[in-house]
Structure 1
Amino acid sequence: MESKRRRVVRSEGRQMIASVYHFLKTEYEFTVNFKEPNCDISHLRNIAKRTAEATGVSERTVQRILKEERDLPSTSSRFLSPMRNRRKRESKVHIDGLTADVVRSTIQEFYIVLKKIPTLAKLRSDLNEKLGFNGCLTTLRTLLRKLGFMWRKTDNNRKVLVERHDIQILRLQYLKKITEYRSQGRPIVYTDESYVLATQDRKNIRFIVVHAGTYSGFIDNACLIYKANLATGDNNSNMSFENYVNWLNNKLLPNLPDRSVIVLDTASYHNARAEKLPTTASKKSEMQQWLTAKGIQFDSNMRKVEIYDIIKKHKSNFIAYKIDNYIKSKGFEVLRLPPYHPELNAFENIWGVLKNFVALRDGEQNMNDSDTEKLIHEGIDKITSEIWHNTCNSIIKKEAEYMKYFDTEFEFITNLQDDSNDETDTEDDSNYDSS
């Protein structure tokens, strides 16, 4: 028997159902008082049932709405639509630098060492040993997709999971660039923003920490610590393009070594476009003006869809970001981490050291905001240049391992075996753009 999907009754509908109930109740009470002798009105007695029949919902829904009405603060209060204020359920799949690193290195081992294509079952078994991963195959598929893998059908109509081509290209470009910069002796400056949870009055308070560091250690005077607006949520929601530029101006850029290369991740405030590019929603005249300004040839008699097809072929060459342009105007270079590769940012390990230090000391005494900031600064001071050396050396080793992959004849493929009910994605060869 096919199950019925629960119907969501929004605020206006809930108000209407309550009004119908009260109308029928008033009608019944009036009839009771003025009915003729021997007149049977028993069929009018079940007001909730009549309301349900009149409005097309269940009696249980009617009773629930009436209870909600009784709980309203006042008679003038309005019903709220269900689920409107419900917090979005957090994903069960959390990807940090360690997880991403272990997953990719495990897949690499299958190709480079074992010369085999891994199955989901074998991959899950290995990840269970290395990470304690105890998720099901569906959870593992979700994890792989969040790391930039996608479904693709083979010639024999089997489904395999492959790493997106654009992710591979961006990783290769990044590895070549950072190797080139290191060979030139240019300082590689990692930057990142994270949060530290502190306990105050039995509540978790979130403090945002912004910093930068190199192989030698933290950049002097570049640390920024401030209390977040919310106790929970993504730390990126507390940072904006303007705030980030202020940090660059006042904290980072004045203290950087000459010829530094600043490594940025794909946070949204890093991706503010320097120029708005045409989209399918743009007017035909706007598309023509853009092509003319860029010196790209087109036929004025072309239709809009044909003009946009030309734009798509050249669009990626003109993607530029405000942050990149600003940093370059100050005499420094920008290198963007490939998406889904947090393990290539030194701060993945550095933040872990800091958070562990704060967690061990937090709660020892009643702390206010000033005490918490002092504790965070103390934790930063405990992260020595030796820790930075080891962290950066580990990343350089990881970069070399990733380069080995490009010397093989394989691409990252995970065999789904006979799992024919998997969700299928279409391959997207367009450049990654999170803005």
Structure 2
Amino acid sequence: MDHVEISPSKKNPRGKFVGTGQKQIIINLYKDKLKQQLENPDSPQLTYRQMLVEISKASGIGQRTIQTILAEYKKEGTVSSPNKKKIKLTILDKVDEFDKNAIRRKIHGFWLNREVPTLAKMLIAINEDETLPNLKRSSFQKVLKELKFVYAKKSRCSALLEREDIQRWRRKYLDQIRQYRAQNRPIYYLDETWVNAGETHNKKWVDSTVKSSRDAFLRGLTTGQKEPSGKGKRLIVLHIGSTDGFVPGGLLCFESKTNSSDYHDEMNGATFFEWFEKTLPLLKENAVIVMDNASYHSVKKDPIPVMSWKKQEIIDWLESKGEIVTQPTIKALLLEKVQTLKSQYDKYVIDEYAKDNNKTVLRLPPYHCELNPIELAWSSIKSYVRTHNNTFKLKDVEELLKKGVEHVTSEMWTNFVGHVVKEEEKFWNIDSITDEVMDAEPEEGARHILTIGTGDTDTSGDSDSDSD
């Protein structure tokens, strides 16, 4: 008989998905090994580890992967298909809320200095700032659109202005909070944040004379607590405070159950309302409660019809308000009638509940987190957690979080609010300055406003045309 050489099993490339078919082969190999041992009790019995080694040699798949597949099969009774879909992050995902806020502040800084911020000027300023992400022109335009900026014609340049509705919202907010302070009404600020089990300071002192772990051991030194490779599990945190400090009993803290990159996804209207209902009695009478416009803060008491509603649903809504609908009709006319009634019924559950309890909700304009002093409190708390976190266990981090909250005193809160009042003053002035600068040396005709879109370009005359 001719000698036949059998080539070794081809190894599965590192990182390559193991398909359902391959997983089933591994299950079959494992069952076959068990069957052989049952049928031949007198032969040497393989340990589970030895089985993993033999299955790995036969299949070309790593032992750890095989162990994971077998564990899944034992638990679920089946094997799952690999998730081959990779989620590609957009530029808006990569630039977080703090960076977006910093970009808006930088544009405002130009206006405060009475300098017209064009797209080209701002792109240079942002890319020269080491604390901000480096952006290409098209990416920057997407961020500007997200931040509700528009182009306004100024001489031969296109100035960057915030959309009129954002300006109105901010001005109305600033006017209202000034009035509430003048009336000596107690003002509370609430917000959510997150804390990871792996919270730690990134910068550490390093002894450059220690060359290795072995060197440290021989010199009687320790290489310290090993930091986690990732951020680990996460706590979602909600609290409320004022110049009196954090409200005792107002802390809500729970473990994140998803891998979402946005901690806002963890909260919902029911959870927030339950907390709000419990916390409201802890506040002073006639209080003002400042919050942002997160979706769970903004659950409608009576949803208002929109184009996505079915025609009959819109008719039913109108008739429930006492309106007479003449048939036949079209959606556009029905929605026009809805607009005339919208102001009467477009109300939030939270706002109405607060009003019923002698409290007032005041909503921050979008992308204005610097107007909420609790952001400074969060920064102090997270710094405390990072400084003292040495176990990277969620339970321990939760205790550090509570201690961090206790370390934020009423004096600190008073300073935080004082800082915010100064920021409010800047915003109060900026719109007036913008008007003055734009009105100086007026262009012939009316001011032209252009919406920033993905493919839009400004007319500043710059030849920069970088793209992603």
Alpha-carbon distance in 1 for matches of 2:159, 2:341 = 31
Q: Which residue in 1 is equivalent to 2:246?
A: 218
1:378: how far off?
Answer: 1.3
1:360 is the counterpart of 2:387: yes
Alpha-carbon distance in 2 for matches of 1:271, 1:420 = 44
CA-to-aligned-CA distance 1:337-388 (integer Å, 9 cap, x gap)? 112222211122211111111112112xx36444222211111122222321
Alpha-carbon distance in 1 for matches of 2:108, 2:17 = 60
Amino acid of the residue matched to residue 93 of structure 1? V
Amino acid of the residue matched to residue 460 of structure 2? Q
Query: Structure 2: any 5+ residue segments left out of the alignment?
Result: 1-15, 29-77, 200-226, 439-448, 453-457
Q: Which of residues 350, 365, 389 is equivalent to 1:323? A: 350
Q: Which residue in 1 is equivalent to 2:332?
A: 305
1:131: how far off?
Answer: 5.7
Instruction: Please give the secondary structure, in 2, of the residue aligned with 1:355.
Output: helix
> In the alignment, is the contact (CA less than 8 A) between 1:160 and 1:416 conserved in 2?
no
Q: Which residue in 2 is equivalent to 1:238?
A: 266
- 5 Å-filtered alignment, 1:11-90, equals 68=19, 71-74=22-25, 82-83=84-85, 86-87=86-87, 89=89
1:148: how far off?
Answer: 2.1
Name the Cα RMSD after superposition: 3.7
> In the alignment, is the contact (CA less than 8 A) between 1:186 and 1:259 conserved in 2?
yes
1:405: how far off?
Answer: 2.5
Q: Which residue in 2 is equivalent to 1:404?
A: 429
Gap change, CA 1:79 and 1:285, over 3 Å in 2: closer
Amino acid of the residue matched to residue 145 of structure 1? K
TM-score (norm 1): 0.69
CA-to-aligned-CA distance 1:384-403 (integer Å, 9 cap, x gap)? 22321221111111111111
1:392 is the counterpart of 2:417: yes
Stretch of structure 1 that moved more, 388-397 or 140-149: 140-149
Instruction: Please give the secondary structure, in 2, of the residue aligned with 1:407.
Output: helix
- 5 Å-filtered alignment, 1:34-433, equals 68=19, 71-74=22-25, 82-83=84-85, 86-87=86-87, 89=89, 91-96=93-98, 99-100=99-100, 102-114=102-114, 116-128=115-127, 132-133=131-132, 134-150=134-150, 161-199=160-198, 202=228, 204-230=232-258, 233-250=261-278, 252-284=279-311, 286-288=313-315, 290-291=317-318, 294=321, 303-312=330-339, 314-315=341-342, 318-363=345-390, 366=391, 368-408=393-433, 409=435, 417-418=460-461
Gap change, CA 1:367 and 1:284, over 3 Å in 2: closer
Instruction: Please give the secondary structure, in 2, of the residue aligned with 1:338.
Output: coil
1:161: how far off?
Answer: 4.5
Alpha-carbon distance in 1 for matches of 2:375, 2:293 = 14
Q: Which residue in 2 is equivalent to 1:54?
A: none
Gap change, CA 1:73 and 1:359, over 3 Å in 2: farther
Alpha-carbon distance in 1 for matches of 2:334, 2:379 = 49
Stretch of structure 1 that moved more, 126-135 or 325-334: 126-135
1:120: how far off?
Answer: 2.1
Stretch of structure 1 that moved more, 353-362 or 194-203: 194-203
Instruction: Please give the secondary structure, in 1, of the residue aligned with 2:198.
Output: strand
Alpha-carbon distance in 1 for matches of 2:83, 2:108 = 49
Alpha-carbon distance in 1 for matches of 2:80, 2:346 = 47
> In the alignment, is the contact (CA less than 8 A) between 1:100 and 1:343 conserved in 2?
no
Instruction: Please give the secondary structure, in 1, of the residue aligned with 2:233.
Output: strand
Amino acid of the residue matched to residue 243 of structure 2? Y
Instruction: Please give the secondary structure, in 2, of the residue aligned with 1:406.
Output: helix
Alpha-carbon distance in 2 for matches of 1:376, 1:81 = 35
Gap change, CA 1:319 and 1:418, over 3 Å in 2: farther
> In the alignment, is the contact (CA less than 8 A) between 1:161 and 1:416 conserved in 2?
no
Gap change, CA 1:226 and 1:151, over 3 Å in 2: same
CA-to-aligned-CA distance 1:244-302 (integer Å, 9 cap, x gap)? 1222233x212111111111212221121111211224454544454455577987675
Alpha-carbon distance in 2 for matches of 1:189, 1:275 = 26
Q: May I ask how many residue pairs the two structures share in their alignment? A: 350
Alpha-carbon distance in 1 for matches of 2:121, 2:429 = 22
Q: Which residue in 1 is equivalent to 2:212?
A: none
Alpha-carbon distance in 1 for matches of 2:344, 2:174 = 20
> In the alignment, is the contact (CA less than 8 A) between 2:235 and 2:254 conserved in 1?
yes
> In the alignment, is the contact (CA less than 8 A) between 2:20 and 2:82 conserved in 1?
no
Alpha-carbon distance in 2 for matches of 1:129, 1:386 = 36
Instruction: Please give the secondary structure, in 2, of the residue aligned with 1:275.
Output: coil
TM-score (norm 2): 0.64
1:196: how far off?
Answer: 0.8
Query: Structure 1: any 5+ residue segments left out of the alignment?
Result: 1-64, 423-435
1:327: how far off?
Answer: 2.1
Amino acid of the residue matched to residue 411 of structure 2? E
1:175: how far off?
Answer: 1.2
